Amino acid sequence: MQRSDSPDWLNPLIGAMQQAQVGLLQLLHGLGLAGTVDGQPAWPWALRLSGENLLIDLGQARGLLWSLAAVATAIVLLVLALVLVLVLRRIRLPALVLTALAALALLLAPWPRADLILVPAHATSFHASPTGFSVESIARGGATYAQHCTACHGADGRGHGPLAASQPVWPPNFTSPLLWRRADGELLWAILHDRRPVESGDGARAHGQADRLSSDDAWALIDFMKARAAGQMLQIAGSWPYPVGLPDMAVQCAGQPARRLSTWQSRQQRLRVVAGSGPVQEDPRLVSLQLSPDGGNRAASALDCTVNDPRAWQAMALLSGSEQLQGMQWLGDRSGWLRALSRPGAQGWSEDDLVCRTDTAAKATSGVGAGALADGLGALIARMDAEPVRFIKGGFVH
């Protein structure tokens, strides 16, 4: 989520850094200057720009912003100098003055420290997950984890599997913020191509699983680990310290062909998912879906749309850190992030149900009429809209 003390310009700056690098990679790939690894363009350098560190050191972030302004100024001055010389064919002295001013702007710019904005990179650092964080990929990742990862990382992901003690380096705890502090592409590299030695049942080998897993398996594994870590953090902290997406799933609405949940998310609609049947009514402020572990009973629900895939029930249980889902409800915001959770037996919604929030309370009531805040759901929706999810891994949205 957004830091409470972050200036408004910081997130656009970090996002621009990310998009510039992705755009450069696409250009190089299109020109044949960058190869392909695991089905996507490969980053050709050993370093990349780091937006994460700028979140920690705002002084360096300001220095970078002023330096970029100096670069823009220098470019404008150099263009004017070229216009004077090549187009207007005026005396060269003004052009020399403009060129000197451009050089001075670059020289006096408060460039940030290179070791803070440049961090090690891998060929897959800018890879994007093709799964869409779906219930199908989470289920596939769970099966892959059980087969290939449990021995070292343990069934719960805390790094205490039966082979953990025999490893040169103790396996990491996947219930920590580790999965959110690294770009998805770098997690992919660690799973498939890490060359650190490990001990397995058939002897020593490299940690990377490229000889055993496909890239699709690895992406599904990342989805599963994120879902499970989110549920465990919710159990421990009572909230999601890092944003969690509402998984994509198949939805069946009365009298309509089956469709994906992502079709509503692409239209910036709020979503409510209700586990099991119960006295829940449709609400015009959001799209409501009934979630059932086995197909459910449409007649027992007042909701028109149902999710009948058992994998969806399992995925939501994983994200919520609980197998007791009957009566639980979740709210997703317009951008597809899970934001609020209501426990079974709760009497209506309140702002306390917001489990993905900023560090300090936003002025959610600003500009909202008293009628909108008369009910708990209205207040919660206003709070969600007022506190959009912003900083994720330094601008790397998963």
**Which range, 4-13, 78-87, 144-153, 313-322, is most confident?**
313-322
pLDDT the model gives residue 104:
95
Token pair belonging to 44:
């050709």
pLDDT the model gives residue 126:
94
pTM value?
Answer: 0.85
d(CA 192, CA 300): 46
pLDDT beyond 80 at 3: no
Q: pLDDT for 286-339, tens place per residue? A: 999 999 887 555 545 567 889 989 999 999 999 999 988 998 999 999 999 999
pLDDT the model gives residue 299:
47
pLDDT beyond 60 at 76: yes
Mean pLDDT in residue range 365-390: 69
pLDDT the model gives residue 62:
92
Q: Which residue has the higher pLDDT, 90 or 109?
A: 109
pLDDT beyond 80 at 397: no
pLDDT the model gives residue 77:
94
pLDDT the model gives residue 345:
79
pLDDT the model gives residue 189:
93
Q: What φ, ψ does residue 224 adopt, rounded to 5°?
A: -60, -45
Q: pLDDT for 91-149, tens place per residue? A: 677 888 999 999 999 999 999 888 888 989 999 999 999 999 999 999 999 999 999 88
Domain 244-364+375-386 has CATH 3.40.50: no
Identify the helix (H) or strand (E) that includes residue 337: strand 337-342
Q: pLDDT for 224-248, tens place per residue? A: 999 999 998 898 888 888 888 999 9
Ranking 12-26, 64-78, 350-364 by mean pLDDT, the lowest is: 350-364
Mean pLDDT score across all residues of the chain:
84
Q: pLDDT for 21-61, tens place per residue? A: 999 999 999 999 999 999 999 999 999 988 777 877 888 88
Q: pLDDT for 182-219, tens place per residue? A: 889 999 998 999 876 655 555 545 466 878 899 999 99
pLDDT the model gives residue 177:
74
d(CA 9, CA 212): 44
pLDDT the model gives residue 63:
92
Specify the residue for token string 């306390």.
352
Q: What percent of the chain has pLDDT over 70?
A: 86
pLDDT the model gives residue 394:
44
Axis-axis angle for helices 310-320, 215-237 (nearest 10): 50
Query: Cα dihedral angle (49, 54, 57, 61), rounded to 10 degrees?
Result: 90
d(CA 336, CA 262): 8
Query: Cα dihedral angle (387, 393, 397, 398), rounded to 10 degrees?
Result: -110
Q: Which residue has the higher pLDDT, 223 or 57?
A: 223
pLDDT beyond 60 at 369: no
